[in-house]
Amino acid sequence: MTPDVVDLRNFYASPLGQAACRSLTRAIGARWSKLTGLHVMGLGYGVPYLDSFLGKAERVIAAMPEKQGVIHWPPHSPSATVLVVNTLLPFADQSLDRVLMVHAIETEESPADLLDEVWRVLSPGGSVLVVVPNRRGLWARMDTTPFGQGQPYSRSQMTTLLRHAMFSPIHWSEELFMPPIPSAMLLRAAPALERIGAALSLPFAGVHVIEATKLLYRPVAVRKVARQRSLSPFLVPAGAQAGFRRRPLA
């Protein structure tokens, strides 16, 4: 089920949503710190994270799925949002340099088709950054947040999905080690919980954060073609048999 845009906006306005946004913004910024001259698109509901790209990238666009709905963004500037069909993005081939996907893959009916479309609009050497719920994490087990909606993924499942769509994962991290509980005490301890979880590589983080680059050619293994012998009728012209008879000795 795709969360409604109003519910997503309300979540990120809450103390729990703001704490999650700070943690993920830090992880995203660590990977994409240099965006000068690049065209960046957020697909899904990425506006809380796209704010940090304004003034750095050449162009920043927020593409929101039709089933989710759309809001005006940035708040005090001309709108840079567009309502889209995930598998029919209204962008030219190779027109984007970076694509951030948040609240996108886990609620998509055909994630393979979605990644194929992202591959199409990315420029050669472009990269995608995917934030997806961890199937072993506590956030995926509680539907009180947007990260508890849709289909969560394991690391191996996401690796397989990206590689089939001709992406090569180059970086992997896990975030949201704090529990999805709006407790004032836990929210104050959130930065410490994130540092401890990352340092100990705890397996129950809330989300995976994967960066993958676009591959231009898919490696294909060479397969041996089995040769089969087949028997077919052989027609002998009339009278040919006489030519093969042995002549009587004189």
Cα atoms found within 13 Å of the Cα of residue 141, Cβ hemisphere only:
8
pTM of the model: 0.84
- For residue 216, name the pLDDT band (cuts at 50, 70, 90): confident
Task: Please name the amino acid found at residue 155.
Answer: R
> In this predicted structure, what is the pLDDT of residue 4?
93
Token couple for 186: 């836990």
Ordered by start, the domain boundaries in the chain are 5-219
80, 60 contact by CB (below 8 A): yes
Q: Is the dihedral of CA 69, 46, 160, 179 positive or negative?
A: negative
Q: Is the dihedral of CA 87, 92, 93, 95 positive or negative?
A: negative
Instruction: Tell which CATH architecture fits domain 5-219.
Output: 3-Layer(aba) Sandwich (3.40)
Per DSSP, what are the bridge partners of residue 169? Answer: 212
- pLDDT, tens digit, for every residue of 24-35? 999 999 999 999
> In this predicted structure, what is the pLDDT of residue 225?
44
**Can you tell me the distance from the alpha carbon of 49 to that of 42, in angstroms, rounded to the nearest whole number?**
8
CA-nearest of 163, 155, 165 to 121 is 165
Average pLDDT, the chain: 88
Asked if the model's pLDDT at residue 213 lies above 80, the reply is yes
Asked if the model's pLDDT at residue 223 lies above 80, the reply is no
- pLDDT, tens digit, for every residue of 103-114? 999 999 999 999
> In this predicted structure, what is the pLDDT of residue 91?
96
**Can you tell me the distance from the alpha carbon of 35 to that of 44, in angstroms, rounded to the nearest whole number?**
20
Place of tokens 């420029």: 123
pLDDT (average), residues 56-76: 94
Asked if the model's pLDDT at residue 138 lies above 80, the reply is yes
> In this predicted structure, what is the pLDDT of residue 25?
96
Q: What's the chain look like in SS3? A: CCCCHHHHHHHHHCHHHHHHHHHHHHHHHHHCCCCCCCEEEEEECCHHHHHHHCCCCCEEEEEEECCCCCCCCCCCCCCCEEEEECCECCCCCCCEEEEEEECCHHHCCCHHHHHHHHHHHEEEEEEEEEEEEECCCCHHHCCCCHHHCCCCECHHHHHHHHHHCCEEEEEEEEECCCCCCCCHHHHHCHHHHHHHHHHHCCCCCCEEEEEEEECCCCCCCCCCCCCCCCCCCCCCCCCHHHHHCCCCCC
- pLDDT, tens digit, for every residue of 69-92? 999 999 888 999 999 999 999 999
